[in-house]
Structures are given as structure tokens and as C-alpha cells.
Copies of this chain bind each other. A is one copy, B any other.
Amino acid sequence: MAQFWDGCPPEAIEAIVSRVSEVRTIKAGEDLFWLGEPCETIFGLLKGWVILYRTFEDGRRQILHFALPPALLGFQAMPGLFMPYSAQALTEAECWTMSPGTFVELCRTYPDVGMRFTSLSLRDNSVAFDHLTNIGRRSAQKRVARLLLELFVRSRMHWPGHRGDKLTLPLTQEDIGDATGLTTVHVNRVLTELRRQDVLSFHYRRLQLLDPDRLVDIAGIDPRSTGLWTEMS
């Protein structure tokens, strides 16, 4: 299992581990924290899928990011800042926890730990920019194709044991809609069309890539950006 601190020197790892206050198990559907809360605990994801999201007054939702291990969630460098998003487990998840103050202290003592976090944070930033580009300027079909391709690739990197073109992703068509800025109904129509074109099928959480080349083509992936999904984790 990939760890947040992979690649840091042994004494740093020991220091981190000794400061972990608790390893917590979160049930699927449970929230780790909410938008607007003060930042009192940070979560190092060890196992499972977690979504970062915001909700609107009227109940609509925007999914901002799909987090996989070894993501570090909920850290705000400035004390007193609030969480800029909510986090919810999509599957059962496991996290180590720590106070933000302890984490800052660790980053000061072991600069490698800080750099490691900075790397992850920059990567997240690029992924967010990717999503922004995806949602801002692309058709519904391209948005859905791109999201599913991203999740397929990232999932594969994390659990390399699996093979083949089939995969179970822990999300509903509603989740896809909330991540791509589309309604559930329209996501369904897009999926039906992609299935009809023998590109992919997604049905009750089971994703199958039928024609990966065409999928990459529809998704309009710039090969330079897939590096983001595969590096460092």
C-alpha cells in the first residue's frame, strides 16, 4: 500500500508514525469533515475512495476531486482557516490522523516531508485545472468520457493486480453528473450513446472499456497530461 511518506528518510518516517494520533476507519457514505469547519484534524488516506465536494443551498452538489491513497486531506497551512470543501468516503476508508500543528512541525523538522506534501498538492492543483478545462469548454460526451478514463487509469495504478478492460468504480451516474456538471438524466443518455457506439459501458458501477483508443480520442486527452494520474502514487 502506497503511503503518504514514501521516499522520505527513515528517521522522518519514524517521526511521522510516532505522531499519528489515531488510525480511523470510515464507513462508506460517512463524512470526514465539512465545508466551513475549522481545521482541527488532517487525514492521510490509507485505503478507499474519498470525494471532495461542495453543496449548494438547493441541495445540488459539485464534486471537486476523487481522492485515492496516499492523499492528504483537510490540511490548511494557515491556522484559523476553514475547510474549503467537504469530504465523504465513497467506499469504506481508512485514514491516519494528526493535528495540523503537528504536521507543520514535522514539515519544518523534515523538509522532505514538506516537499512530499508540496508535490502532492501541486499535482492536485493540476488535476483541478484539468477538471476546470473539462467542464468549462467541452461537450457532455467528452466530459463523461474523460472522467471515466481518468478514474479507470488512476484506479488501475492503485490496484495494479487487476487486469483487463473491466473495473468496478464506486460511483453512481449521479456522482458522474455532480463531477462533470451534468444532470443524472443526461449522464445516462451520454452513457447509453457511448455504449451504442461500442466505446464503453457503465452500468451499476461496472465500467468496461470496449474501445480504449476511441475513448482516448473522444476524451481528447493530451498525452502530456496523463502523467498527472500516474506519477507519484
Contact = CB atoms under 8 A, between A and B. Distances in A.
Interface string A45-63: 0000000101010001110
Interface string A107-121: 111011011011101
A35 B36 CA distance: 34
Interface stretch (A81-89, A166-174, A196-204, A208-216): A81-89
A33 interface: no
Nearest to A60: B137
A125 interface: yes
A17 interface: no
Contacts of A65: 129
A61 B136 CA distance: 9
A190 interface: no
Q: Which of A35, A109, A133 has the most CB of B within 10 A?
A: A133
Interface residues of A, number: 53
A219 to B, nearest CB: 13
A11 interface: no
10 contacts: A62-B133, A65-B129, A84-B129, A84-B228, A85-B129, A117-B118, A118-B121, A121-B122, A128-B132, A135-B135
Interface of A: 35-36, 52, 54, 56, 60-62, 64-65, 75-78, 81-82, 84-85, 104, 107-109, 111-112, 114-115, 117-119, 121-122, 124-126, 128-133, 135-137, 180-181, 220, 222, 224-225, 227-228, 231-232
